[in-house]
Amino acid sequence: MIPFTLYVPINRRIAHEAWLALFIVLWTSNRLSGEITRFEARVETRVQELIFGAPASVNSDGMELPGDVDEFPIAASAFLATTELGGERTAVGQGFGAVADPTRLNDPNPQEFALETACFSNAADVSYIIESSAIESRIVVFDRNDLDTSSANAQRTVRSRVFLSGAVILWSTGAEAALDELTAEISIAVTRDEDANPLFDTSLTVNGSDRAPSAAGAIRFEAVNLDELASLGLDEATLAVLERVEEEGSLLVIVIPSQEHAYRYAASPDAELTLRASMEIRLRNAPAGTGVAAVLGRPFEELAQFIEEALPGVNGRTIEGAINKASARRSGDLAPPSDTPVIPSLPRLCGPGGVAMISLLLVFGLAKVTIRRR
C-alpha cells in the first residue's frame, strides 16, 4: 500500500455562493460557511495473473496527491494479457482508477471518482484477480457561526448525502467453467477521522454461481435482461452471440442507477474533522471461457474492445452503449432518501450521449463555501 500521510494546502479561495461539485454532499438546512483546509487522494490498481489457480505475473500502478503529483487529476492503470503464437489474445486483465479535481465548478460532468476493471479468459489455465480503489480525504473546519452556536463545546448535526452509480456484466460461455470463482465485489464507504465505524457503508457482490446478487447497506441495483439490451441498440450479430452465451453458459448484467443516500454526523466549532470517501472494485474470473467487467463513477468506456476480444463476433460499442443506456433510463426513477430535507434539484450531470453516471460527489448546497490557504 502507498503511504497516505502527507497533505497539500489549498492555495485558492472560493467565497461566492455556488453549487460546488465534490464527493459527498455536506450541508444543513440553514446557510453555513465551511472551510476545507487540505485534500489528500490516492488511486491504486493491481492485476494478478493466476495459472492453474497459483499466482504468476502481476502488474500494478498507484498515484497519490500530494507526493507523486501536486494537483489533480491522479490516475492509475494496469494490464496483463496472454497471447497465442498467432497473436490472438486468449486472456486479458485490466484495471483503471482516477480522481479528478473536486474544486472545478464549470465541468459539466466532474466524475470525480472513476473505476473501471475487467478480466476474461478463454484459456484453459489462466485467470485473474483485479483490484482497483480510489480514496479521497478532506479536512473540514466549521466556526461557531457555521454551526449557529456561541459555545465552543456545542455540536450540531450535519446531514449529508452520497451519490453513486455503476454497472457489472458477467458471463461464461460454457457449463464447464468454475462459476463460483467468477465474482465482482463493489464497496463504497465514508468515514470520519479515525472512527472504525463508517458514516456510510454499502457493498454489492455478483457471483457467477448465484444469479441473485447480494448487497449490504443502502445500494440499489437491478438486473437487465437480454431483451432490454437488444431494444437499446444491439445489432443482430451481437444479439446472436449473446443469446448463444446465455443458452450454453450464463450472462448477467447488473446496473446501479445514479442514486443518493443520506447519512449524518456531529460537528464542533473550530475543530478539524476528516471526511474520507473510498470506493473499490474487486474482480475474479475463472479459466475456460468466463469474463467479468465492472464500472463505478462513470459509464463504461473501456468495455468495447475488451468484450470484442472476449466474445468474438460481437460489436463491443453496441453492448457498451446498451448497458449505459439501461442504467441511465433507470436513474430518473429513483427518489431522494426520505430523511433528506428538500433542496433545489441539482442540474443533471451528463457525459457524452447524455448518460448520467455520477460517482461520489460533494455539493455544498445553499451554502457559502470557503476554501482558503491555511
Q: Supply the DSSP symbol for 33.
A: E
> Within a domain: residue 2?
no
Question: What type of residue is 368?
Answer: K
Strand partners, 21: 363
Contact between residue 189 and residue 197 where contact means Cβ atoms under 8 Å apart = no
Contact between residue 260 and residue 339 where contact means Cβ atoms under 8 Å apart = no
Residue 21 has pLDDT above 80, yes or no: no
Residue 220 contacts by C-beta under 8 Å, 6 or more apart in sequence?
A: 256, 257, 259, 334
Mean of the per-residue pLDDT values for the chain? Answer: 78
Q: What is the pLDDT of residue 110?
A: 42
- Quickly state the pLDDT bin for 236 (edges 50, 70, 90): very high
Instruction: Name which residue leads in pLDDT, 358 or 242.
Output: 242
Contact between residue 329 and residue 353 where contact means Cβ atoms under 8 Å apart = no
Q: What is the Cα–Cα distance from 111 to 100, expressed in whole angstroms?
A: 7
Q: What is the pLDDT of residue 154?
A: 74
> Within a domain: residue 115?
yes
Q: What is the pLDDT of residue 156?
A: 82
Cell of 194: 479515525
Contact between residue 151 and residue 286 where contact means Cβ atoms under 8 Å apart = no
Averaged pLDDT for residues 174-194 = 91
- Digit-coded pLDDT (tens) for 71-128: 889 999 999 999 987 788 999 999 999 998 776 534 433 457 899 999 999 999 999 9
> Within a domain: residue 4?
no
> Within a domain: residue 231?
yes
> Within a domain: residue 3?
no
Least confident of 23-27, 33-37, 273-277: 23-27
SS (H, E, C) 203-235: EEEEECCEEEEEEECCCCCEEECHHHHHHCCCC
- Quickly state the pLDDT bin for 257 (edges 50, 70, 90): very high
Phi, psi of 63 (to 5 degrees): -150, 145
Contact between residue 171 and residue 245 where contact means Cβ atoms under 8 Å apart = yes
- Quickly state the pLDDT bin for 17 (edges 50, 70, 90): very low
C-alpha distances out from residue 78 to 34, 45, 52, 122, Å: 38, 6, 22, 20
- Digit-coded pLDDT (tens) for 322-331: 999 999 999 8
CB half-sphere exposure, 6, CA atoms < 13 A: 13
Contact between residue 356 and residue 349 where contact means Cβ atoms under 8 Å apart = yes
Q: Which domain holds residue 22?
A: 9-370
Number of domains in the chain: 1
Q: What is the Cα–Cα distance from 172 to 252, expressed in whole angstroms?
A: 9
- Digit-coded pLDDT (tens) for 128-154: 999 999 999 988 887 777 676 666 667
> Within a domain: residue 25?
yes
Contact between residue 94 and residue 47 where contact means Cβ atoms under 8 Å apart = yes
- Quickly state the pLDDT bin for 211 (edges 50, 70, 90): confident
The most confident of 4-8, 48-52, 100-104, 193-197, by mean pLDDT:
48-52
Alpha-carbon 39 to chain mean position: 19
Q: What is the Cα–Cα distance from 306 to 317, expressed in whole angstroms?
A: 10
CB half-sphere exposure, 160, CA atoms < 13 A: 27
Q: What is the pLDDT of residue 165?
A: 92
Q: Write down the residue that cell numbers 507523486 correspond to.
A: 68
Mode of pairing for the β-strands spanning 222-224 and 250-267? antiparallel
Peptide bond into 66 cis (omega under 30): yes
Q: What is the pLDDT of residue 108?
A: 36
- Digit-coded pLDDT (tens) for 355-370: 222 233 332 222 223 3
Residue 368 contacts by C-beta under 8 Å, 6 or more apart in sequence?
A: 15, 16, 17, 31, 32, 33
Q: What is the pLDDT of residue 64?
A: 96
- Cβ neighbour number for residue 237 with a 10 Å cutoff: 12
C-alpha distances out from residue 326 to 213, 255, 353, Å: 18, 7, 13
Contact between residue 283 and residue 130 where contact means Cβ atoms under 8 Å apart = yes
